C-alpha cells in the first residue's frame, strides 16, 4: 500500500469540497481532493441563493458560471397557507440581483474543474475507506482508487470532510449525526417537459413554492427547458399513502393533481423518472474536531424549503478554508480558528432552522414570517420594511455579510437562547404563555432535538473572514 502526504485532504468534490480546495490552493497550500464518483454526476439541490454570487466571485469562478447559460434566479414566489407573495433579491439594497437555477451535475463539475485549475490535486473515482487517528487526532486516510484498482494511505495536517449525506466522519467515526424529529420528511421529485410554468407578475426564473396540507411543492426552471418539480411530505402522510397501496409514482402524481396551481402548470407536460429521498434533515454534535472540519451536508442538512443546502456548504467551506490557511501560516492559533468555525457555521445553520420551523406553522401568515426574520437579523428594519429582513435571510446575505463584517450571529445566539429559555420554562410550567406562543416554541424545541448548542463564544473571539487579497481569518482590532 503506497503512502502519500499532503497539507490538507478534502473528501468530496461537491460545492463544499471544491470551494475549500480552491481557497486553500489560492493560499499556496498543498491540497488533495478525493472524490468517490466520476463527474459529471447527478445531484438534487438546484436552486441557489443570491449569497453564492459573491462567494463564487471570491473563488474566481463567477465568469465561468455566467457564460455557462444557467437560468438566472431573481427571487422567489410563495403560495403558502392562505397567502401569496413574491420577492426579489434586489429588494435589499446592495444585494446581488440574481442567483442561478442549476443542473447540479454541470454546476458541480464547473467548480471541481476550477479547483483543479487553481492548483488543487483532484482525484475522481477514489473512495476513502477509513480515517486514521493518533491520540484522538485525525492524521491520515486509507483510500481505494477504483480506476487503477489500487489502495493507499495519505497523511495530512488537516482533513476537511465534504462527503455529503454519506458523512464519512459523522456516520463512520464520530457517530454524531442526529435526525430532526420535527423535519422527518420525504422528498419525491421528477423533471417535466412542456410545462405551462408562467410568471405573470413574478420575476422570470423564480423558484415557486406552494404549501399543501401535508407538506409543500417546488417548481424550479432549468436551462435545458425542463422544470424540476418536487413534493415534500411528512412521514405520516407517506405511511397513509403507502397503506392505500400507492407507489412513489402514484403518490407523486396524485399529490400534484390535487393542487389546482400545480395541475394547471403540468396539465400538458410530460414527466421523467420519479426519484425519492427520505429523512434528510439532520445535524452533528460538532462540526469540527482535532485535525478535521466537516462542511456542507457532511455536517448538517435542513429541509430544503429555503434552498439553504449549497449556501451552507459554501459558507462553511469558505470559513474552513480561512481557518486552515490562517493556522498553517501561523497567523491564528488552532483553538481560536476551530472556535470561530464551530460557532459561525452553527449560527448560520440555526438561523435557517428557526425560520424553516416558523414556516411550518401555516397560520402565521407572511407578516409573521417577516417578523420572525426580523428577529434573526442584526439590522433593525422598520415595521413597513420587515420583508427586507426576510429577503436578507432567504437570499443568504445575512450570513455572508455578517461573517465578513466580524459581527456574525451575536444577535442570533441571543435570540435563540431567549427562545430556548422560554421553551424550557414552558416545559417546566413556569411563567404565563398564550397557546400560540406555547405551540410555536414547543415546535422549535422539538426541532432542536439532539443539537449541541452555542456557548458564550458568540462573539467569535474578535475574528472575522477577510476575503481579499486572500481568504483568511483576520482580527477585528
pLDDT for residue 179 is more than 90: no
What pLDDT is recorded for position 375?
A: 58
User: Scanning the structure block, which residue is given the C-alpha cell 396539465?
Assistant: 267
Task: Let me know the angle formed at the C-alpha of 148 by 145 and 153, rounded to the nearest 5 degrees.
Answer: 35
Cell of 403: 461573517
Please, what is the average pLDDT of the chain? Answer: 84
Least confident of 90-99, 179-188, 368-377: 368-377
Name beta bridge partners: 65: none
H or E element in which residue 141 lies: strand 137-145
What pLDDT is recorded for position 26?
A: 97
Say how many CA atoms lie within 13 Å of 473 toward its Cβ.
Answer: 28
What pLDDT is recorded for position 424?
A: 47
What pLDDT is recorded for position 419?
A: 56
What pLDDT is recorded for position 208?
A: 94
* Higher-pLDDT residue of 191, 451: 191
pLDDT for residue 28 is more than 70: yes
Q: Is 87 within 8 Å of 76 (Cβ atoms)?
A: yes
Residue 187 backbone dihedrals phi, psi, to 5 degrees: -110, 130
pLDDT for residue 56 is more than 90: yes
Least confident of 247-261, 356-370, 440-454: 440-454
Coil, helix or strand for 362?
helix
Cell of 473: 481569518
Q: For helices 397-405 and 309-328, give the axis angle rounded to 10 degrees.
A: 20
Give the span between the Cα atoms of 153 and 128, in whole angstroms.
Answer: 9
Give the span between the Cα atoms of 198 and 349, in whole angstroms.
Answer: 33
Q: Burial-class residue 431 by CB neighbours within 10 Å (0-12, 13-18, 19+).
A: exposed
pLDDT for residue 219 is more than 60: yes
pLDDT for residue 318 is more than 70: yes
What pLDDT is recorded for position 114?
A: 98
Cell of 198: 408562467
Give the span between the Cα atoms of 410 and 219, in whole angstroms.
Answer: 35
In CATH, which of 3.10.290.10, 3.20.20.70, 3.40.50.970, 3.50.50.60 is domain 2-73+102-177+281-328? 3.50.50.60
Q: How confident is the model at residue 12 (pLDDT cuts 50, 70, 90)?
A: very high
Sequence ranges of the domains in the chain: 2-73+102-177+281-328, 185-278, 348-475
* Higher-pLDDT residue of 308, 260: 260
Per-residue pLDDT reduced to its tens digit, 335-368: 999 998 998 888 778 777 776 766 666 555 666 6
pLDDT for residue 181 is more than 90: no
The reported pTM is 0.84
What pLDDT is recorded for position 409?
A: 44
Q: How far is CA 453 from CA 346, 413, 429, 456, in A?
A: 8, 9, 23, 10
* Higher-pLDDT residue of 461, 96: 96
Q: Is 214 within 8 Å of 237 (Cβ atoms)?
A: yes
What pLDDT is recorded for position 323?
A: 95
What pLDDT is recorded for position 447?
A: 39
Query: What is the CATH code of the structural domain delimited by 185-278?
Result: 3.30.9.100
Give the span between the Cα atoms of 164 and 150, in whole angstroms.
Answer: 24
Residue 256 backbone dihedrals phi, psi, to 5 degrees: -70, -35
Give the span between the Cα atoms of 11 and 21, in whole angstroms.
Answer: 10
Give the span between the Cα atoms of 378 and 269, in whole angstroms.
Answer: 44
What pLDDT is recorded for position 463?
A: 84
Per-residue pLDDT reduced to its tens digit, 74-128: 999 989 887 888 888 888 767 788 999 999 999 999 999 999 999 999 999 999 9
Q: Is 452 within 8 Å of 299 (Cβ atoms)?
A: no
Q: How confident is the model at residue 331 (pLDDT cuts 50, 70, 90)?
A: very high
pLDDT for residue 209 is more than 90: yes
Amino acid at each position: 500500500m503506497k503512502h502519500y502526504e499532503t497539507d490538507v485532504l478534502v473528501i468530496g468534490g461537491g460545492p463544499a469540497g471544491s470551494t475549500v480546495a480552491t481557497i486553500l490552493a489560492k493560499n499556496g497550500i498543498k491540497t488533495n481532493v478525493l472524490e468517490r464518483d466520476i463527474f459529471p454526476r447527478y445531484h438534487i439541490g438546484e436552486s441557489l441563493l443570491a449569497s453564492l454570487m459573491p462567494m463564487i466571485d471570491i473563488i474566481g469562478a463567477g465568469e465561468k458560471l455566467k457564460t455557462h447559460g444557467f437560468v438566472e434566479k431573481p427571487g422567489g414566489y410563495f403560495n403558502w397557507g392562505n397567502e401569496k407573495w413574491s420577492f426579489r433579491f434586489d429588494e435589499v439594497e446592495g444585494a446581488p440581483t440574481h442567483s442561478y437555477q442549476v443542473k447540479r451535475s454541470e454546476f458541480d463539475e464547473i467548480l471541481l474543474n476550477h479547483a483543479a485549475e487553481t492548483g488543487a490535486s483532484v482525484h475522481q473515482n477514489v473512495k476513502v475507506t477509513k480515517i486514521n487517528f493518533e491520540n484522538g487526532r485525525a492524521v491520515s486516510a486509507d483510500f481505494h482508487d477504483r480506476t487503477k484498482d489500487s489502495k493507499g494511505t495519505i497523511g495530512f495536517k488537516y482533513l476537511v470532510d465534504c462527503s455529503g449525506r454519506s458523512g464519512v466522519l459523522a456516520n463512520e467515526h464520530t457517530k454524531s449525526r442526529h435526525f430532526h424529529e420535527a423535519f422527518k420528511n420525504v422528498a419525491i421529485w421528477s423533471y417535466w417537459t412542456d410545462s405551462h410554468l408562467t410568471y405573470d407578475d413574478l420575476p422570470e426564473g423564480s423558484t415557486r413554492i406552494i404549501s399543501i396540507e401535508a407538506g409543500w411543492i417546488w417548481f424550479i426552471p432549468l436551462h435545458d427547458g425542463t422544470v424540476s418539480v418536487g413534493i415534500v411530505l411528512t412521514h405520516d402522510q407517506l405511511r397513509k399513502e403507502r397503506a392505500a397501496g400507492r407507489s412513489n409514482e402514484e403518490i407523486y402524481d396524485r399529490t400534484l393533481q390535487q393542487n389546482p396551481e400545480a395541475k394547471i402548470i403540468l396539465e400538458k407536460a410530460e414527466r421523467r423518472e420519479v426519484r425519492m429521498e427520505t429523512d434528510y434533515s439532520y445535524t452533528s454534535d460538532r462540526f469540527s474536531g482535532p485535525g478535521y472540519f466537516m462542511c456542507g451536508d457532511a455536517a448538517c442538512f435542513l429541509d430544503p424549503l429555503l434552498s439553504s443546502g449549497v449556501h451552507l456548504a459554501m459558507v462553511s467551506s469558505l470559513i474552513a478554508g480561512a481557518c486552515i490557511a490562517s493556522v498553517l501560516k501561523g497567523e491564528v492559533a488552532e483553538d481560536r480558528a476551530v472556535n470561530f468555525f464551530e460557532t459561525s457555521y452553527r449560527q448560520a445553520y440555526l438561523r435557517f432552522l428557526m425560520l424553516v420551523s416558523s414556516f411550518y406553522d401555516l397560520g402565521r401568515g407572511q407578516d409573521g414570517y417577516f417578523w420572525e426574520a426580523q428577529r434573526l437579523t442584526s439590522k433593525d428594519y422598520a415595521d413597513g420594511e420587515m420583508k427586507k429582513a426576510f429577503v436578507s435571510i432567504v437570499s443568504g446575505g445575512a450570513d455572508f455579510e455578517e461573517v465578513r463584517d466580524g459581527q456574525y450571529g451575536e444577535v442570533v445566539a441571543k435570540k435563540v437562547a431567549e427562545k430556548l429559555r422560554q421553551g424550557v420554562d414552558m416545559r417546566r410550567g413556569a411563567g404565563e404563555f398564550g397557546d400560540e406562543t406555547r405551540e410555536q416554541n414547543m415546535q422549535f424545541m422539538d426541532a432542536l432535538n439532539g443539537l449541541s448548542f452555542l456557548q458564550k463564544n458568540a462573539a467569535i473571539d474578535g475574528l472575522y473572514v477577510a476575503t481579499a487579497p486572500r481568504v483568511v481569518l483576520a482580527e477585528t482590532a
